[in-house]
Amino acid sequence: AQSVSQHNHHVILSEAASLELGCNYSYGGTVNLFWYVQYPGQHLQLLLKYFSGDPLVKGIKGFEAEFIKSKFSFNLRKPSVQWSDTAEYFCAVHPGTASKLTFGTGTRLQVTL
């Protein structure tokens, strides 16, 4: 069965620091990859997604993620975080064939002023 690993469970950064959140998955075939974000008290929402093409994808609010097929990774990055980025971030994987989405356990990001 496929699995998704997010190794950072809780990350604390100061404003303007750079961010990288790790995501690794265990499926060997074609995959679609997602990062979702849940701001405090809000719905889970899509941050960015990769289906095909350029492995560097850009999402909302200055986030980007790079798909490295050889490493089975899809790490999320932001050059300079803001206090408003405080949220929980979830990586998710969907096989290319129709099937369910598998989520990682999430990373709680806390940005301090």
Partner 1 sequence: DVKVTQSSRYLVKRTGEKVFLECVQDMDHENMFWYRQDPGLGLRLIYFSYDVKMKEKGDIPEGYSVSREKKERFSLILESASTNQTSMYLCASSLESPQEETQYFGPGTRLLVL
H helical segments located in the chain: none
**Contacting residues toward partner 1, per CB under 8 A:** 6, 9, 32, 34, 36, 42-46, 49, 51, 90, 94, 96, 98, 100-106
- Minimum distance from CB of 15 to partner 1 (Å)? 25
- Minimum distance from CB of 75 to partner 1 (Å)? 17
- Minimum distance from CB of 52 to partner 1 (Å)? 9
DSSP 15: T
Whether residue 18 contacts residue 80, with contact meaning beta carbons closer than 8 Å, is answered with yes
Type and span of the H or E element at 68:
strand 64-68
